[in-house]
Structure 1
Amino acid sequence: MVEQQAEHTRYVALGDSFTEGVGDPDPSLPNGVRGWADRVAEQLALADPRTEYANLAIRGRKLVEVVDEQIEPAVAMAPTLVTLYAGGNDILRPRVDIDALMARYDDAVGRLRATGASVLLFTGFDTVASRFFSVNRGRTAIYNELVREVADRHGATLVDYWRFEEYDDPRMWDVDRLHMSTRGHITMAGRVLDTLRHEHTLRQDPLPALVPVRRLDAVRANVRWTREYVGPWVMRRIRRTSSGKYLEPRRPVPSPLAVTPIAG
């Protein structure tokens, strides 16, 4: 009797800049970024080189765009594992109907779960420490509660970003203060793998204590940040353009990764 091998993982990552990998630059890769999802896929492939990985996430996408553009292609890929985060770009808009958005989100998660895939969902980050982004903290809390309900209803797994206190450190964030830094992406990959209960080799040295910043230097940094990042972001909102308007998915087709498997 021939022994059948266990099914290999086909991992499909869906969402916006968070999942695309913005903030973790790598000029050698499509769209010039790497990100936590790539690192998760690499760790899965280290354990099983048959692992396949697709990443359909594109920066700037709002929740309805993620649903309309990414869910059906993902379903067609017959995934065994899906990660989905969407809604952050909606929360930042002046007006948003969170209930209507989450109805679409609920339907999308149901379609993904109907494939038999394991689905990982994310709560939004708690922006209490940010003077600029904390204005949307209440919206994010409502979004998170609805995400928890969707996860419970469909048997999805939750990655509870809201409770990850390590992200209160500014060094976990890119210079734009909106996207995770490389360190933040590595940490998130570890958090996702821990949620999956999958062993991994992602380790980072502890950060040294933060050096206090003089008030004048902080003011200058805020002025520079406003000019270089907030201003262009506002202009894109006024013009109704997206930072990802001309981008294509980084990994549109599930395919193996070139990694050296772990022995034993």
Structure 2
Amino acid sequence: MSVPTLPRSYAAIGDSFTEGMGDELADGTPRGWADLVALGFAHALGAPVGYANFAIRGRLLGPILTEQLEPAIALAPEILSINGGGNDIMRPRVSVAATADRLVAAAERASDAGIRVVVVSGGNPTEHIPLGPVFQRRGDELADAVRARLKRSLHEIAFVDNWGDRELRALRYWSIDRLHLNSLGHARVAANVLAALGVPAPPAGADEPELQRPRTAEYWREYVLPWIGRRLTGRSSGDGRTAKRPTLEPIAPA
């Protein structure tokens, strides 16, 4: 899908992928692909663009849609990106079909409000994490189900399939926890999204980060076991957190 005019406002909803975890600025604030997409719009337009980001790490698709969708629609952005379902497929039980149904229905709801919508899937980390084959199968099913539903939809909704981007699977695109993209990975996703919307990407500025990757035992202790612990106790890394950018604030060309 291409856009006839460059957008002057953009909002994003989702989980840690859209919040930008793994691509932190010097002060610890996550940046991420959605911020880079907003910068891409501003760069192409040559003027500031209104940008809002409601994403919160750890969110399942249900809370994303109940907490973020309507506030984002209320801002009436010209473009809305929707991401979700990645945390759902990592739960012991999940209905991939129901997840795809809800995701596409949300996209159609925003489209009915006159907003240009793009559904953005997360990258595929399964070659580097425990239980990778299980999550690989579910992620493939979800991407296929979303694509099939959007193809049948009467709405013009773009789908950016980062899950199917084989280059993005390489470890060089992933942060130390192997679950979130690093700055290089987020830059590639931003380029994928801008390309799908027919907007020229600004000059690349992300270099491959130099990461001291932990040994296996340290990796399990620092990242895997805490993740398992949160699942067993019903906690989330996003508990108590609020959206980092809940209003359309101007973002200027870099």
**TM-score (normalised: structure 1):** 0.84
Q: Distance in 2 between matches of 1:78 and 1:142?
A: 32
Q: 1:238 maps to which residue?
A: 232
Q: Does 1:259 align with 2:253?
A: yes
The amino acid of 1:110's aligned partner reads E
Residue 11 of structure 1 aligns to a residue in which SS?
Answer: strand
Match of residue 49, structure 2, among 40, 48, 51: 51
Residue 53 of structure 1 aligns to a residue in which SS?
Answer: strand
- What RMSD in Å do the two structures reach over aligned CA positions? 2.2
Q: Distance in 2 between matches of 1:229 and 1:131?
A: 10
Q: Percent identity?
A: 37
The amino acid of 2:84's aligned partner reads A
Q: Distance in 2 between matches of 1:194 and 1:65?
A: 29
| Cα drift, residue 168 of structure 1 | 2.6
Structure possessing the higher radius of gyration over alpha carbons:
1
Q: Unaligned stretches of 5+ in structure 2?
A: none
Distance change >3 Å, CA 245–CA 202, structure 1 → 2: farther
Distance change >3 Å, CA 76–CA 130, structure 1 → 2: same
Q: Distance in 2 between matches of 1:247 and 1:97?
A: 27
Match of residue 218, structure 2, among 210, 217, 224: 224
**156-165 vs 174-183, which moves further:** 156-165
| Cα drift, residue 50 of structure 1 | 4.3
Residues 86-235 of structure 1 mapped to structure 2, 5 A cutoff: 86-127=84-125, 129-130=127-128, 132=130, 133-152=132-151, 153=153, 154-203=155-204, 221-235=215-229
8 Å Cα contact 1:84-1:121 kept in structure 2: yes
Q: Deviations over 1:221-251 (max 9, x none)?
A: 2221111100000111111111011111111
Residue 117 of structure 2 aligns to a residue in which SS?
Answer: strand
Q: 2:70 maps to which residue?
A: 72
Which aligned segments of 4 or more residues in structure 1 are displaced greater than 4 angstroms? 204-207
Q: Distance in 2 between matches of 1:244 and 1:83?
A: 20
Q: 2:16 maps to which residue?
A: 17
Distance change >3 Å, CA 56–CA 240, structure 1 → 2: same
Q: 1:32 maps to which residue?
A: 29
Q: Distance in 2 between matches of 1:149 and 1:249?
A: 31
Q: Distance in 2 between matches of 1:8 and 1:50?
A: 10
| Cα drift, residue 64 of structure 1 | 0.5
Distance change >3 Å, CA 227–CA 10, structure 1 → 2: same
Aligned residue pair count:
242
Q: Unaligned stretches of 5+ in structure 1?
A: 1-5, 208-217
